Amino acid sequence: MIGIVSYGGYIPHLRMDRMSIYQQVGWFAPAVAMFAQGERAMCNWDEDSVTMAVAAARDCLAGQDKARVGALYLASTTMPFADRLNAGIVATALNLRDEIVAADVSSSLKAGTSALIAALDGARSGRRSLVTAADRRETRSGSFYEMWFGDGAASFLVGDDEVIAEFEGSHSLTRDFVSHYRATGQQFDYTWEERWIRDEGYSQIIPEAIKGLLEKLGLSIDDVDRVIYPCFFAREHAGIGRAIGAGPEKIAGNLHQICGETGAAHPLVMLAHALQDAEPGQRLVVAGFGQGCDALCFRVTEGIRNLPAKKGVQGSLADKQTVDQYMKFLKFRDLVETEAGIRAEGTYQTSLTTLWRSRKMILGLVGGRCTACGTPQFPKADICVNPECGASHTQEDYEFADRPAVIKSFTGDMLAVSPNPPAIYGMVQFEDGGRLMADFTDCELADVKVGMPARMVFRRHHVDRERGIIGYFWKAVPLVREYEAREQERAGRAAEIRDAGQPEATGVSTAAAFFQALPGCFQPGAAAGVDAVFQFSLSGEGGGEWFAAVKDGACVVEQGQHPRPTTTLKMTAGDFLQFASGQLPAMQAFTSGRLKIEGDMLKSQLVEKLFKLR
């Protein structure tokens, strides 16, 4: 029996609210309003197809013997290197053995399913193969595809034993049907009108491939429990199901509202998503579309009950942070050039000789462990770091990537160059020993705590645009939810309480009460030479208009709107109370869009100086 042994998935932590896109581009592209519902997955600034592929593969390999992997296929239409084996980077990051076959599969959106078929063919000879697919596709601002696309990855381990989904067969069509293309050196796809791919592509080719598969296997649609195929047109997605005779209950959702279409990875993302709910005996058909179509059939086995728990696509979809700042979306994708200052002018030339010698340390996060005393350390060294040991040349390779860790110290650096300031970094202590000074990612500074658990992720470290090379390394992701759950358990609380009135530090529970008490917080000694009117415009429940006029060392606070405010601070009433109590730092509120400032921005920074808010 050959088939799927394990699966994994990865959707980036960030989601872009589609309505936020429309609010910024609707003035010149009003038609995109038709698709401004839900959210699309978006890469953080340090993510690309390689890093997402590594993340999905790590999820897939959890609890598996990596030494048995004999081949690695990376499928993507957005690989960062044209002449460097991208699959080789993934293999090194995963610390797979050198004696494997590795290949990049590209140039079509069905690359993911084509790679899966190739791996399954290899399984007939007893070889275990890892297939991982990822895409981070770029679009022009204001296009429909900006709304439709999303970023993501999926991974499958295939072999001839411990199978959780038996491979029953496949059927492929290869046709040079061009609905879009991207020539070498071009950043964006050239697309034909949507009716072409909708009516002659999706609606014709996918049903033909699925029907051909069922005929080849001697099955009918009644024998199939779940049909999985990509199509971001809702009406046509349902129409394909009708064309093959499948009822709505058999058609897997296209994940458009919560993720977007993830390119070459999407059929595999949908398959991984479906397998998380699959039961033994169910038959799944999955199709990948792009210059033809691949259709594959799997039968779920009892082995799926024994598969170790994994985060998967469903877990990644639940672990999210919604972004409503369209400029951040553009910046993270290098679609807008911003001023970074002199500090960004440093050279990032990669020494290829050093990269080769230290490839396990840099790409695989491999340190050392002393065979004399068992002490782990990073990086690996000739002498044991344990002061009670100090043995020489006793280090063996020791992988840190999957070791539990906690944050020992951290800082937020506004001076360091970062596409998402402040740059957050600190010391990470691994549970079994070993420390690492690491950058933090997928977090907000206000959420990071000493003692918080963290996990390591493979990310971009820097991009050398002059020489066209990307430097990869490992970063730490603070596990905020796990930390909060642990703290609640320690305190004996059964549920998390948020926004339950004004925090204790201020002694008031409403914005009105806060402004009534504000004159008592005024610091006359800090007001020398200050002549300004601070307007506070608070929306939502408990909101309203208040202003504080500061002049000649005195302060007047009144309700209402001042005719000539120096600066206006706009927030929801709930966010303002968090800001006033110190729970929401001003910089975080501003960079996240929860605080909007109009007028003299420099004067707005005097608020915390003039008033002792806590």
Q: What is the CATH number of the domain that holds 114?
A: 3.40.47.10
CB-based contacts of 473: which residues, under 8 Å, 6+ apart? 362, 363, 439, 458, 459, 461
- Whether residue 505 is contained in a domain is answered as no
- Mean pLDDT for the stretch of residues 491-502: 47
Residues 6+ apart with CB under 8 A from 201: 177, 179, 289
345 within domain boundaries: no
pLDDT digit string, tens, across residues 228-240: 999 999 999 999 9
d(CA 523, CA 45): 41
Final residue before a domain boundary, out of 448, 463, 491: 491
Is residue 254 domain-resident? yes
Instruction: Report the pLDDT value the prediction gives residue 89, as an integer from 0 to 100.
Output: 98
Where does a domain end: 491, 520, 535?
491
Residue 201: is its pLDDT beyond 80? yes
Q: Which residues pair with 41 in a beta bridge?
A: 15
CATH number at residue 423: 2.40.50
pLDDT grade, residue 492 (50/70/90)?
low
Q: Which residue range is the domain that position 146 belongs to?
A: 3-332
> Does one domain contain both 140 and 203?
yes
Is 113 part of any domain? yes
**Residues 555, 483 share a domain:** no
| Dist. CA 102–CA 98, nearest whole Å | 10
Using alpha carbons, list the distances in angstroms from residue 167 to 473, 549, 598.
36, 73, 61
Against a cut of 0.95, is the pTM above it?
Answer: no
Q: Going edge to edge, which strands form the sheet with 469-478?
A: 435-439, 423-430, 405-413, 453-464, 469-478
The SS3 of residue 610 is helix
Task: State the Cα–Cα distance between residues 492 and 332, nearest whole angstrom.
Answer: 40
pLDDT tens digits for range 91-124: 999 999 999 999 999 999 999 999 999 999 999 9
User: How far from each other are the two terminal CA atoms of the chain, in whole angstroms?
Assistant: 67
Residue 42 phi, psi dihedral angles, 5° rounding: -135, 140
Amino acid at 551: K
- Provide the 3-class DSSP secondary structure of residue 440: strand
Residue range 167-195, pLDDT digits in tens: 999 999 999 999 999 999 999 999 999 99
Helix extents (H) in 256-372: 266-275, 312-318, 326-332, 352-357, 359-364
Residue 518 in domain: yes
CB atoms within 10 A of CB 506: 17
Tell me: do 415 and 527 sit in the same domain: no
Give me the pLDDT at residue 496, please.
44
Q: How far is CA 421 from CA 58, 217, 373, in A?
A: 28, 56, 41
59, 146: one domain: yes
User: Percent of the chain at pLDDT above 70?
Assistant: 97
CATH number, residue 556 = 3.30.1050.10
pLDDT digits (tens, 9 = 90+) for 397-445: 999 999 999 999 999 999 999 999 999 999 999 999 999 999 999 999 9
Is residue 486 located within the same domain as residue 515?
A: no
Indicate the pLDDT class of residue 263, thresholds 50, 70 and 90.
Answer: very high
Same domain, 535 and 462: no
Bridge-based pairing of strands 39-42 and 423-430 is unpaired
573 found inside a domain: yes
Average pLDDT in the chain:
93
Percent helix, percent strand, percent coil in the chain, to nearest 5: 30, 30, 40
- Co-location of 472 and 594 in the same domain: no
For residue 426, give every residue at least 6 positions away whose Cβ sits within 8 Å of its Cβ, in sequence order, or none: 407, 408, 409, 410, 411, 437, 438, 440, 448, 476
- Asked if 275 and 213 sit in the same domain, the reply is yes
Considering only residues 495 and 358, tell me which one the structure prediction assigns the higher pLDDT. 358
**Residue with structure tokens 């309700």?**
559
Is 381 a domain residue? no
In a domain, 370, yes or no: no
Domains in the chain: how many in total? 3
Looking at the structure, tell me whether residues 315 and 410 fall in a common domain. Answer: no
Residue 155 and residue 269 in one domain: yes
Q: Which of 200-204, 447-451, 514-518, 596-600 has the lowest mean pLDDT?
A: 596-600
For residue 592, pLDDT beyond 80? no
pLDDT digits (tens, 9 = 90+) for 335-359: 999 888 888 887 778 999 999 999 9
Cβ-contact 102, 131 below 8 angstroms: no
Give how far Cα 80 sits from Cα of 8, 131, 212, Å: 22, 18, 35
Last residue of a domain, which of 491, 524, 541? 491
Is there a cis peptide before residue 524, judged by omega within 30 degrees of 0? no
Confidence (pLDDT) at 505: 39
254 and 325 both lie in a single domain = yes
Residue 28, helix vs strand vs coil? coil
Residue 604 has pLDDT above 70, yes or no: yes
Higher pLDDT, 480 or 582: 480
| One-letter amino acid for residue 340 of the chain | A
521 and 458, same structural domain?
no
